[in-house]
Amino acid sequence: MTDPSSPCDAAHELISSARVEGTPVYDRAGEKLGTLHSVMIHKVSGQVAYALLTFGGFLGVPSRVHPIPWEKLRYDTHRHGYTVDLSRDMLENAPTLSLDAADRPSERGYEEALFGYYGSSMFW
């Protein structure tokens, strides 16, 4: 049950997979880094494994996306978006995916390198 005094509006605790696209992502200082392109969901547990961040791109059309382990994202109910405690430099140097590949499951080795880069553990 939700604490009625919680600032988090219960009616907005969920988001449709059809609307994930475009959710803003901010750095710790509140500067917008980009938006979510999509999320990768573990089929068995239903847990999001990682999110794909896009910075925008040429004429607003991104060519590559930046996968980020889900545990690095904190939902900010006031900004209606996610905050990551990562610098733009760290993101820009992180493993990326081409947009073509972003909606397909990745190689295990790629995901291990990705989670290793961020010091995160793979739960699957």
Instruction: Report the residue number, 74 or 93, with the smaller CB distance to a second copy.
Output: 74
Determine the Cα–Cα distance for residues 122 and 87; give it in Å rounded to an integer. Answer: 22
SS3 state at 75: strand
Q: Which is nearer to a second copy, 89 or 119 (CB)?
A: 119
Q: Are 41 and 90 in contact (CB under 8 A)?
A: no
Binding a second copy (rule: CB under 8 A), the pick from 24, 42, 95, 117 is 42
120 binds a second copy per the rule CB under 8 A: no
Any residues with CB less than 8 A from the CB of 28 and at least 6 apart, and which?
A: 83, 84, 85
Contact region with a second copy (CB under 8 A), list: 3-11, 25-33, 54-62, 83-91: 3-11
Interface residues toward a second copy, by CB under 8 A: 2, 8, 10-21, 38-49, 70, 73, 75, 102-108, 124
